[in-house]
A and B are shown apart, each in its own frame.
Chain A
């Protein structure tokens, strides 16, 4: 990413001093900006199920997440850049997860760790299990496995970094007034989990039922 400062073509006597040559780099704003973001990405300290144990293993001695500048796990969503959804998302927990996601400041990323967070996994048929967190919040990287090995999670995290490097300050939505991110609509625990996207259809059925009652 670094380019050697061009010195040729400078008038005689104006050559750059030797020590300066080794210390000045030219690069793009994007590169520096993304480099900084990718190398200090703080995940949220937030474990859901079995996968969380492997997430902790990634943090621990053998796999050592600090090599990526990610050892600081933040317990508060307001200080976190990355949400690792590590485990089964239950219906009872889902409203909390969506709220946490909405509380995270932009730029934010979501990594769905394991079969459960991706699709419901082995528990998909369960009456209290959400079939994949991506039905509610946008996911950047999926890591398959049950649980994914720590190596797999590390690979997934590197893919998040890759994604960061592809973004540009100029087009980043979080700096643009016209693309302000709306918060994700909050699901509600009704007789079953209520997904706000079903509202129109539900209203229609309810109205029809009411009409039938009166008629």
Chain B
């Protein structure tokens, strides 16, 4: 066993007592201790990227100080250790999303690359002129643009299932858009701009009734929800390490083995081949067929430790805690005069997107920043969502299990300051 696999998670988190101890959890995230503009940092931009627990930082440091070596290449001890740690991380990801087999886990840079891989590899071979790709009106640009590129190349058509004023998918409309021409459904599990949790189980069922495979964008789901790709029965699932308390530059594409085996490689190079001559190259088996070149080894190891950390806290506790936080935040923000929440779905993750009457989100963001409060302002890489709600931008507070009620109170106080500056 490599030391990396034994990465200790703080003992105090171990016995699964009922409620989450937020103070203990916060202690695991060194970055949260700092002050910004002289104020304690209130980090509410977790949907953009989450902070990393000490265990992840230590694991990556340990890789570089004790184990750094390439994977699947050398016969020497270090390479052996690095390979074992790398493949152990793959197994951790498999268990995290309950995939059937570890070879169904492809390491990529992030959700964006995972979707592009499917668009290029599955799309290039399975999509023809006149075919359709079906997405929803709440997708992140990274689950729109790769399909647009594909559709343009192939003469295929991108269809978009509409949402209601609460930001919920209209399932009936979605179903009507599933036709004999639909080659793939690509839908987000949780919306980054609205917080909506999509009815993914039903989406998959309805698509499968028509033999249409489904890709789920789990970038905003993996940090908040327990994911079981076998129960979902989705064909592809994607998420990003950096939004899931792991490092940047590492992400996951899950694909059912039968798809991955049938799909052509995404990129060519080392590692993805089993033999090369100038006449003919035989591709490696999955997952290696899709992992050309030296992978992000340290990032992969860090991701594995991040998932260990999440498992130690436990999704039951995370879901319960975040739900309570969401209710508290929704109530608190609703008390701010002139504030309108954008995204009020019944099923929501702890994401609070809002506009303040007469004050541009960019100004809100600047003023909150001086209070030490980090929120995202802008279109959140979801311009069609902004258009749907008739706004050019929103401010977004995205919460995770290390956020507190006190931080929401600080946000509300900050918003009152914003209104004071603007004299409203």
Report whether chain A binds chain B: no
A-contacting residues of B (Cβ < 8 Å)?
Answer: none
